[in-house]
Each structure stands twice: as C-alpha cells, then as structure tokens.
Amino acid sequence: MGRESLPEEGPLVTEPTAAPPDARRPRDDSPARREQRPAPRRDERPPARPWRTEGMPPGYGGDGDDESPRRFRWLNAVLWFLLGYALLFGLLTAEDHMGGGLTISYTEFIRQVEAGNVEQVFARGQTIQGELREPARVPDGEGTYEQFVTERPVFAEDDLLAQLEESGATVSATPVIDERGTLANLLISLAPILLLVAFYAWLFRRQRNLFGGFPGLGGGKKKPVDPEKVRVTFDDVAGIDEVKREVYEIVDFLRDPEKYQRVGARAPKGVLLAGPPGTGKTLLARATAGEAHVPFFSASASEFIEMIVGVGAQRVRELFNEARKVAPSIIFIDEIDTIGRARAGARAVGGHDEREQTLNQILTEMDGFSGEEGVVVLAATNRPDVLDPALLRPGRFDRTIMVNPPDQEGRAAILRVHTRKVPLADDVDLDQLARTTPGMTGADLANLVNEAALTAARRGDVRVTTSDFLEALEKIQLGAARSVVMPPEERRRTAYHEAGHALLGMLQPGADPVRKVSIIPRGRALGVTLSTPESDRYGYDERYLRGRIIGALGGMAAERLVFDVVTTGAENDLENATRIARSMVGRWGMSERVGPVSILPQEGDPRMLGISDAMLHTVDEEVRRVIEECYEEARRLLSEHRDKLEAIVQALLERETLEEDEVYAVAGIPRQVEGEEPAALDGGAQPAPQAAEEPTPAS
C-alpha cells in the first residue's frame, strides 16, 4: 500500500531500430579517397613478441614469418602418427602369426591323415588349416602341436578328400584358426589413434569454451560487425540531440580525416558514454559506426576477465590488433567499470591481478595510438565515478559524454521511433503519452510500446489504442493486478491507508498531482497511490521534499488516526521517508544543526572519508527529527480534513479504483495548476528517491 511518485530523473538513450535502406549516407568512395584510405592488411599477423620496437636496424628480429616453426610442428605430428600406426600394425600382425597353427610339411600332414589323427580341416586354395585329435610331436623339433597349416603342392595327384573321409576327418566350411587378416589389422591399429585424436579434439573444444574462444587460447578471432549489416543510424536514436551532436564529430573524422589533419587536429582516442541503464549508450555506439560506415568491434568488459591471469590482456591485444587491420574502425567496450575501477582509494576493495593487468593493457594500447590509425574507442558505464583516473586522463578517454534520460520532447521523439512499425489507432496522442511518462528512459519507452502491442494482440485488435497504452503503463508502474480476496476489515484498512496517501498529496502545496488511487492488489502491494509531476523536475527544494515525506507517511498516519494501530503495510513508506530525510540532512545541507556539509557518500562507509562518530550521531538525530515533524504534520492534516478522508475511503470501497478527476471530485479539492518550479539546489541536486509500492503485510 504505497505511494507512487516521480521516477528518478537520469540520462537517456533509445533502443535500436532497423533503419530503412535509403537512410544510410553513402560512403565516400572517390578515387582520391580510396588512394588515401589505408588498405586493410588482412594477412598481417600480430607481433609474436609482447613489446614494441622503434628505430631498430633492418633485419633485427622483427615480425618475421612464423610459418617455418609451424610447418615443423605439423611435420613432427605426422611423423609421430605414422610411427605409432606402424608399431600397432606390426604388433597385431605378429600376434596373428604367433597365435596361429604350426606350419608343417605336406608329408607330415598326409602321415597324420593316414594315422587317423586329423579331427577337421579347412582349405582356401592350396592352403590347408587343420586340427589334430591328439597332440603330435613336432617333426625335427621339440614340443607338440595341435593346430597346423600346410600347403598342398599343385602337382599332387592323390585323392585327399577320399583319404580325409576314410579317416573320419571333418571338412569344415569355416576357418579352423581365427585370423583377422591384413585389412582388419589396418583398421584395428587405426582405432586407438582415432580415439586419441577424438579425446584431444574434445579437450581442445573444452579449453576454447573455457577461454571464451579467443585466439591464442583455443578460440577464433573476434570479427567486426560488417558495416553493410549495421542498420542502426542516428535516425534510430531520438531524444538526445545534444549527445548526437557531440558524437557526430567522430563520425565526420572517420569519414574525412584529412579535413582535420590539415589544421593539425586529431580525433579523440577514446570517448566515454556515461549514464543510467537504458539510456541507449550501446545503441548510440552502434549508430556511430553505422553513420560512419566503418567496422564495429563490440565486447563487454566482463568478457575479458577469466580465472587465469593474463587471458584478459591477451584478448585486449587481439581486439586492438584486429581493429587496426581494418581501420578506420570503432571499438566499443560496454560496462567498462568492470575492469576500469580505481586501483586505489576508498572504493578499492582488495586486489585483482587479472583485472588490473587487463586495465593496464587497455591503457597501453590506447597510448599506442598516434591519432592517425583511424581507430576510435567508445566505452559505456553506469558508474563513471568509480573509474580509475588513469583511464580518464586526456590522451586516453579524452571526452566524457553524459547520456541523460529524455525530456518530454525527447520522449515523444523516442515513442515515434518505436511506433514506426506499430499500427496506432486515431485516438493515440504520443505527445500526451510523453507527458505522462516523466523519468522514463528509451528502454522503458520501448518496453511500454511493446506491452501495449501485446495487450492489443491479446484482445484481438489490429490497432493499438490509447487504452492499451494506459493499461501497459499501469502494469509497468504499478504491477500486474492480483486475484486476492482480502477480508473486509483488511480491505477497509487498506482503503484508509491509500486515502491517507492521496489526501495529503492533494493538500500539499506544490506537490505532484495524484493520478490514480486503487485498493486492487498489484505486484507486492495491497494498494497503490500514483503521483507524477506535470513536467520534468531537475531540482527539489526543502518544502517539496518535506511534502514527499508527509505524503509517504500519510498511510501510516491514517491507520493510527482511525484504528490506533501501525501495520506492516507502512514498511516501504518508512524506507522511502527515511531515505529522503537522510539525503536532506547528510547530502543536501538541509539541516541547520549539521550545516552545509556532505556527510553521507553515495556508497561506502562515511568513516572512510574521515566523518566522526559524533557527526554521524548528529545526522541520525536530525533524520529522526525531520521524520517525526513530518509525521505529526501528516496526522494534523488528516485530523483537520477527516471528512475528506472518509469520502475518499467510501468511494474506494465502492469502486476500488479512482482516476485523477474522480479522486479530486470526491475529496472536494480543486485541481491545483502548477505554478513556479521549485528552486534548484546548488550544484544540481539529485532527484528525491522514488517512493515505490510497499510489500504485502507479513502474515
């Protein structure tokens, strides 16, 4: 049962949309341009040595051809394979001969037939195999034999078959002595080698997956996105025109570097795109490559980090080498704070050799740019404040471009981009929709359009209507409705809780208008009150922030006033009120006792910044004072306007949901027209934390 309010304002970027084929600008392929453009050196290999050399005499161990060592390695492998194969084949053949019968003379064979000692025989051509009934002595030798092999002379004229039948021998149709033969030995001797090769192939594939498929460590090379397949251009990026103007200079340099080189200018080696999630930093980088018609290398910083130290640095070297081969090109590293965090200071936690080696390699590669290669490094981060100073100094990332969330006009432009392929009904007003979505980023708006289209598809409509957009917006901001049957007493208490939020929101001068009040359970909340500003806000004064705290405590104050109880439904209200009060006292200098000082950092322990325990104790006391004053003010206002509170509760119990016009009419409070904007804080105050829906009370 919480109070929804203005989402936190921040940087913007839109999601990618396929641009029409005629939206691309033609690449300059004039003869003069082709002569000046460096040809891609696709057969060039990265240096085998991990260092660079300058001014060395000709012929000094440079980047020599490494085909000879590689050829010798393959030759050695083939020789060892043939040797092993010959050894196995010889062993199997010898086994055949050793396991076969004794070779005897034909005369000895006839003697055994006449003696009636032959059990069975098998003949293939003139070769005869057989087995004796009783072992016989080896002629002219020691020992006995039972199985034998002999050759019948071609000139023999005896009737051998009659003699065998007379002696009772069996003429068999199958060989008496099992022999594999030469072909079988060839195949059998090959089987162990094939198994060994299969095992090494499996091991090789496993290692390549382990190391991320990178060259030199069991994988393939990173391939750039083909510029002809990059269909994202600046036409697909809306709402951040000032950022596009900053980036367009890079596009112009990649298209026509001679224009800048004539006046001694060089392109920035690196450009850092900083902003909240969903503001379109990745899309902007892709659009930059699409506008310039150059290869685009993209990688997440987390892909460089592996368990084994040195792998990340090797990947960085390979990535930059590949980009140089096809220059002009763009390298984009997303979430660079994963490897670019400060290596010393209050934010440094422990050490990570692999991360630091990867960062050092990136710094080294960027130092190696002369500005004439035509390789530009773009990086994106949500946390520019935690990056290492060595990464941000001029000569590496020369520029930091803040990508902020869009204003109202920007949101309307973004909605027009994302609804290009969505059939809209005649009643859809994208400008009005942009006014009702303050604080939303490009990713949020893309999700809103998709949710509205899904809603229309579920209904079987062929066009997306305004009601589809409103239902999708309600689902995103308030959560999906739940089918929960609440007891009458708890339902009534929920109505008082939400009515307290709504009434105080309408009574506070300069507060955000109440857009909707509902006691239908949504998400984790049993009820919601939605308030959003008429226009975008960029700074907040103390009166507005105190009004936010009073409104957040309205539900708790109403329950205490009517039922004289405090329930778990106030948990999220107290969290939001405390967060705003702590920022007022510890960050924004809105406490006379603490003074105009910053006590509480964005993250980390304030004691690491030298803040004393006594000062922190003072901050805690001031936070409690602010919240208690706001709570007493909330109770006073509700007591004075008890009739309006009861009217809202009665309407909620009857209708469950009240829209903006309905709730103001029921309370009998005229709709305030927004006047002068609240005064902005010096230095640009951060927006007040959003009051989200509270969790369902614990059972």
Tokens of 504: 């105080």
Distance CA 452, CA 450 (A): 5
Are 38 and 327 within 8 A, CB to CB?
yes
Residue 675 in this model has a pLDDT that exceeds 50: no
Sheet holding 399-402, edge to edge: 296-300, 329-334, 375-381, 270-274, 399-402
Distance CA 74, CA 71 (A): 5
* 595-615: pLDDT as tens digits: 898 888 887 788 888 889 999
Weakest-pLDDT range from 303-312, 408-417, 656-665, 671-680: 671-680
Is residue 242 part of the annotated active site? The answer reads no
| pLDDT at res. 452 | 92
Listed in order, the ranges of the chain carrying CATH 1.20.58.760 are: 488-667
This prediction's pTM: 0.62
pLDDT band of residue 188 (cuts 50, 70, 90) is low
**Exposed e or buried b per residue across 66-93, where buried means at least 16 C-beta atoms within 10 angstroms of its C-beta:** eeeeeeeeeeeeeeeeeeeeeebbeebb
Selected catalytic residue, list 15, 291, 303, 498 = 498
Higher local confidence (pLDDT), 256 or 62: 256
| pLDDT at res. 99 | 52
Distance CA 204, CA 164 (A): 62
pLDDT band of residue 135 (cuts 50, 70, 90) is confident
Which positions ≥6 away from 162 have C-beta within 8 Å? none
Residue 25 in this model has a pLDDT that exceeds 60: no
Domain 101-178: top CATH class: alpha beta
Weakest-pLDDT range from 7-21, 198-212, 510-524: 7-21
Give the mean pLDDT of 363-378. Answer: 75
* 118-134: pLDDT as tens digits: 888 877 777 887 888 88
| pLDDT at res. 519 | 87
Residue 483 in this model has a pLDDT that exceeds 80: no
The 3-class SS string of 135-179 reads EEECCCCCCEEEEEEEECCCCCCCCHHHHHHHHCCEECCCCCCCC
Distances (CA, A) of 588 to 527, 539, 552, 611, 681: 32, 11, 20, 16, 8
| pLDDT at res. 208 | 62
Left (φ > 0), alpha (ψ -120 to 50) or beta: where does 465 sit?
beta
**What is the 8-class DSSP label of residue 566?**
-
* 289-323: pLDDT as tens digits: 788 888 888 888 777 776 555 677 788 888 888 88
Tokens of 109: 């064979």
Distance CA 256, CA 260 (A): 8
CA angle 207, 211, 214 (to 5 degrees): 110
Higher local confidence (pLDDT), 79 or 99: 79
Residue 97 in this model has a pLDDT that exceeds 60: no
pLDDT band of residue 619 (cuts 50, 70, 90) is very high
Residue 534 in this model has a pLDDT that exceeds 60: yes
Three-state DSSP state, 244 = helix
Listed in order, the ranges of the chain carrying CATH 3.30.720.210 are: 101-178
Residue 559 in this model has a pLDDT that exceeds 80: yes
| pLDDT at res. 632 | 94
| pLDDT at res. 89 | 66
| pLDDT at res. 263 | 86
Distance CA 360, CA 310 (A): 11
CB atoms within 10 A of CB 669: 16
Distance CA 415, CA 20 (A): 18
pLDDT band of residue 344 (cuts 50, 70, 90) is low
Q: Minimal CA–CA distance to 255: which of 290, 224, 220? A: 290
Which H or E run includes 274? strand 270-274
Give the mean pLDDT of 451-479. Answer: 88
Q: Identify the CATH number of the domain defined by range 488-667.
A: 1.20.58.760
Give the mean pLDDT of 233-247. Answer: 80
